[in-house]
Amino acid sequence: MTDTRRDGETMAGDADARSRQDKRQQWRVVPGPAVPPPGQNRLRDPRTALAVEIGRLAAGLSRRLGLGSGGIIGGRLALSVQPRALSRLAAGRRVVMVTGTNGKTTTTQLVAEALRSQAPAVSNATGANMLDGHVAALMTSHDAPFAALEVDELHLAQVTGQFEPSVVVLLNLSRDQLDRIGEIRTVEASLRNALAQAPGTHVIANRDDPNIVSAAADHSSVTWVSGGVRWKDDALNCPRCGAFLGDSDRAWRCACGLSRPEADWTVTGTGAVGPDGRHRDLALRLPGHVNRVNATFALAVGLHLGCEEDAVLARIAEIDQASGRYGMVRLAGRQVRLLLAKNPASWLEMLDLVSGQDRPLVLVVNSREADGYDVSWLWDIDFDSLRGRTVLVAGDRALDLAVRLRYAGVRCEVHTAVDDALAVVTDGVPDVIANYTAFRDLFARKERR
C-alpha cells in the first residue's frame, strides 16, 4: 500500500521506474481469512437473545401496520434492552462500514452484493445508518458471516468505540445540512478519531478528497482509490492547517506534511485499474462515472475479503437501482426515472447524468429537518448545463429553486406538486431529480401503488 508521507523529491528516471516495478511485483491479492463460522454463539447471552426477540417483534409489527420497514424501531428497542447489542451481534462477522457524504447507500448495496458472491451478507438496505439501524440489520440473520452497513459520518466513532470493523470505506466529504451537522472539519476530525479507535481495521479511502486523505492518512492499513474530484469547492484547503492546496486533481503536498497519496485503484472511463496494473471492465447497469467509482470501492472491498474477482464483477453488474436511486418507477400514471441529489456535490453528478438529453426534467426541493432547513446551497450549484431546456420545478422550496434557475438563465415552470408537473409532460420518460425527503416521499408513493 502507499505511504502518504513519502518524500516528494524527484527521483532519477531509472530509480523511479524500478520503484514502480517493485511496487507492482510486491502487490498481490491475498485471500482473506476463511468465511467466519455461523454465529450461534451471538445469542447465547440471554439478554441479547431477549433484545433480538423484542426487536424482531417490533420490526414485524411496524411492517404489518404499514408504519415503516422496521429498520429503526426494532434496533432501537433491542438497544434499550441490551445496550451492547451492536458489538454482540457483530462478533465473529466480517463487517464493512461505508461512510461519506455522498454515495453511501449505493456503495453499501454494491459491497453487500460483492460479499454475497462468497457467502450470505446482511445490510441496512433501507438507509437506517445509525446504531439502531445497524442492530436492526444484524438481527435479520445471526448466521450471516458478512455485513455491509452504511453509517452516518458522525456515528462511525460510536461504532468503532464498540467493535473493530473488518473494513471501513471512506467515500468523500462535502458540505451537507450545515444547520444540523456543521462544517466539514468537524466531520473529518470525527472520522479520524473513529479510525484511531480501530487500529486493526483496513481502510479503503478516496485519495482525491483532501478531507478523506486527512482522516485516513495516519492509519496503518489503507487502500487508496482514485476516481477524480468533480466538486472541488470543499477540497481547496488543507483540512489540518488551512493552507491553500489548489487543484486537488494534481499531486499536492502541504507544508504541514499531509500529501496526496498514490492510487492503488484508478477508475477509468470503462472500468478500473488495480494495484497490479491490470484493467477490469465494469459493465454496470447503474449509470455514470460516479457509479464506476462506487463499484471500484466495492470491488476493492470484495478482493480484500477474499472474494473471487469474476464473481464480484458479475454480482455488481446486475444492480440497476439502490433503494430506488436510478430506478424506473411509476408516478402519476407514468414511468419516470427517480434520481437523488441532496447537496451541491450530488447535484453536480446528477445534472451531468441528465445533460445532453432532451428528456423531460422535473426538479424537486424540500427543506425539512432531514434535508436541513437552509437552502442557500442552491446557489453553489452550476445549472448552466440546463440552458435551452424547459425545466419543471416542485417541492416545498420550488420558488427558491425557480429564482436560482432564473439567474442561471434556465427557463422553468413552477408547479405545486410533482403530479401537477408530470401532468403537463406529453411524451418521453421524465427524469425526476429530488432531494432527500422529496425523494423519500416519491419512492414511498411508488411502493404503495
List, as one string, the DSSP characters of 168-189.
EEE-------TTTT--HHHHHH
* CB 216, CB 329: distance < 8 Å: no
The answer to the question of residue 118 being in a domain is yes
Q: At what angle do helices 131-139 and 73-81 cross, to 10 degrees?
A: 90
The answer to the question of residue 322 being in a domain is no
Domain harbouring 91, CATH code: 3.40.1190.10
The answer to the question of residue 192 being in a domain is yes
412 marked as binding residue = no
Residues 140 and 61 reside in one and the same domain: yes
Residues whose CB falls within 8 Å of the CB of residue 395, separated by 6 or more in sequence, listed in order: 363, 364, 365, 366, 401, 418, 434, 435, 438
Residues 153 and 293 reside in one and the same domain: yes
Residues 255 and 360 reside in one and the same domain: no
Q: What is the DSSP letter of 376?
A: G
**Nearest by Cα to 221 from 168, 270, 260:** 168
* Structural domain for 376, as ranges: 328-448
The answer to the question of residue 382 being in a domain is yes
Alpha-carbon distances, residue 31 vs 34, 118, 306, 307, 316 (angstroms): 8, 12, 4, 7, 19
Alpha-carbon distances, residue 61 vs 55, 76, 157, 335 (angstroms): 10, 14, 31, 32
Average predicted confidence (pLDDT) for the chain: 88
Res 103 pLDDT > 70: yes
Place of cell 468523500: 172
- Confidence tier at 299 by pLDDT (50, 70, 90): very high
Q: What is the DSSP letter of 384?
A: G
Residues 88 and 182 reside in one and the same domain: yes
Residues 216 and 132 reside in one and the same domain: yes
The last residue of one of the domains, among 317, 345, 376, is 317
Higher pLDDT, 108 or 29: 108
pLDDT value at position 101?
A: 93
Q: What is the DSSP letter of 385?
A: G
Residues 67 and 181 reside in one and the same domain: yes
- Confidence tier at 6 by pLDDT (50, 70, 90): very low
Alpha helices in 242-397 (DSSP H): 289-304, 309-317, 344-354
Higher pLDDT, 233 or 223: 223
Give me the mean pLDDT over the 193-213 stretch: 97
Catalytic position from the list 374, 380, 382, 400: 374
Alpha-carbon distances, residue 378 vs 183, 369, 399 (angstroms): 17, 17, 12
Q: pLDDT tens digits, residue range 334-364?
A: 899 999 999 999 999 999 999 878 889 999 9
Res 438 pLDDT > 60: yes
The answer to the question of residue 1 being in a domain is no
Q: pLDDT tens digits, residue range 71-91?
A: 788 899 999 999 999 999 999
Higher pLDDT, 427 or 145: 145
The answer to the question of residue 6 being in a domain is no
pLDDT value at position 42?
A: 64
Alpha-carbon distances, residue 90 vs 102, 322, 355 (angstroms): 25, 24, 43
307 marked as binding residue = no
Residues 312 and 189 reside in one and the same domain: yes
% helix / strand / coil in the chain, to the nearest 5?
A: 40, 15, 45
The last residue of one of the domains, among 317, 348, 380, is 317
Residues 266 and 415 reside in one and the same domain: no
* CB 148, CB 96: distance < 8 Å: yes
pLDDT value at position 22?
A: 44
Res 108 pLDDT > 50: yes
The answer to the question of residue 274 being in a domain is yes
Domain count, the chain: 2
The last residue of one of the domains, among 317, 346, 367, is 317
The answer to the question of residue 77 being in a domain is yes
Residues 119 and 262 reside in one and the same domain: yes
Residues 94 and 235 reside in one and the same domain: yes
Residues 302 and 337 reside in one and the same domain: no
Q: Catalytic residue at 374?
A: yes
Alpha-carbon distances, residue 179 vs 151, 195, 306, 349, 401 (angstroms): 20, 25, 41, 23, 19
